[in-house]
Amino acid sequence: KAGVTQTPRYLIKTRGQQVTLSCSPISGHRSVSWYQQTPGQGLQFLFEYFSETQRNKGNFPGRFSGRQFSNSRSEMNVSTLELGDSALYLCASRRPARGLPREGYTFGSGTRLTVV
Amino acid sequence: GQQVMQIPQYQHVQEGEDFTTYCNSSTTLSNIQWYKQRPGGHPVFLIQLVKSGEVKKQKRLTFQFGEAKKNSSLHITATQTTDVGTYFCAGTDTGANSKLTFGKGITLSVRP
């Protein structure tokens, strides 16, 4: 079966611009989470969506936002980009499960964002 | 907030040596997961532990969840070059919040 698909794979943006990243989860997976990965900070949680509702949110500024569509596809948006936003953005999906996760996440290959 | 810690961040071993790494949480966890990320790749789920004191094995890898559910360990027997990568632990806090918090990972290199 198809895995988690993230587009685009690579992106170069200028400071001050905004960017939208896309994630298509595995078919049947309704929970989608986003993580920012940088060498110094590891994997930092951005937000989690389930059935089009944001269920959890990490400690990122309001410039970072996301949404989920009725087909479970998710997008995240970063406005007014800063140099420090350069990172690998990973999307992960899992089967529908309210409450505690019962199985592991399947990650996409990520979008490598470079802000210049 | 919840913190999951993995120290050190890097470890180098000779092929054939055993390797053990630990993961500690500032809070009691409902479960813990382990992931492996190869260089240039994305995290891949290895295993989930749920019960206090639980031990699970996958070939040469042994995972353990602490009795207090605040720590976990990963042991690799007779490391191979294919074990190279970054190993992350990730925990879910007790309570209704299902957020998975990752440690910073330990990057393992294996000298052939």
Q: Are A37 and A44 in contact (CB under 8 A)?
A: yes
Cα–Cα distance for residue pair B89/B100, rounded to 1 Å: 10
Cα–Cα distance for residue pair A109/A114, rounded to 1 Å: 16
pLDDT in tens, A4-59: 999 999 999 999 999 999 999 999 888 999 999 998 788 999 999 998 999 889 99
pLDDT at A40: 77
pLDDT at B81: 96
Helices and strands: H and E segment counts in chain A: 0, 11
Q: Judge whether A8 is closer than 8 Å to chain B, CB to CB.
A: no
* Cβ contacts of A3 within 8 Å, gap of 6 or more: A26, A106, A108
Q: What percent of chain B has pLDDT over 90?
A: 83
Each residue's pLDDT tens digit in chain B (112 positions)?
778 999 889 999 999 999 999 999 999 998 999 999 999 999 999 999 999 999 999 999 999 999 999 999 999 999 999 999 999 999 987 765 668 899 999 999 999 9
Q: Do A48 and B99 touch (CB under 8 A)?
A: yes
Cα–Cα distance for residue pair B53/A108, rounded to 1 Å: 31
Nearest CB to A100: which of B31, B44, B102? B31
pLDDT at A2: 77
How many other C-beta atoms can be found within 10 angstroms of the C-beta atom of residue B7? Answer: 11
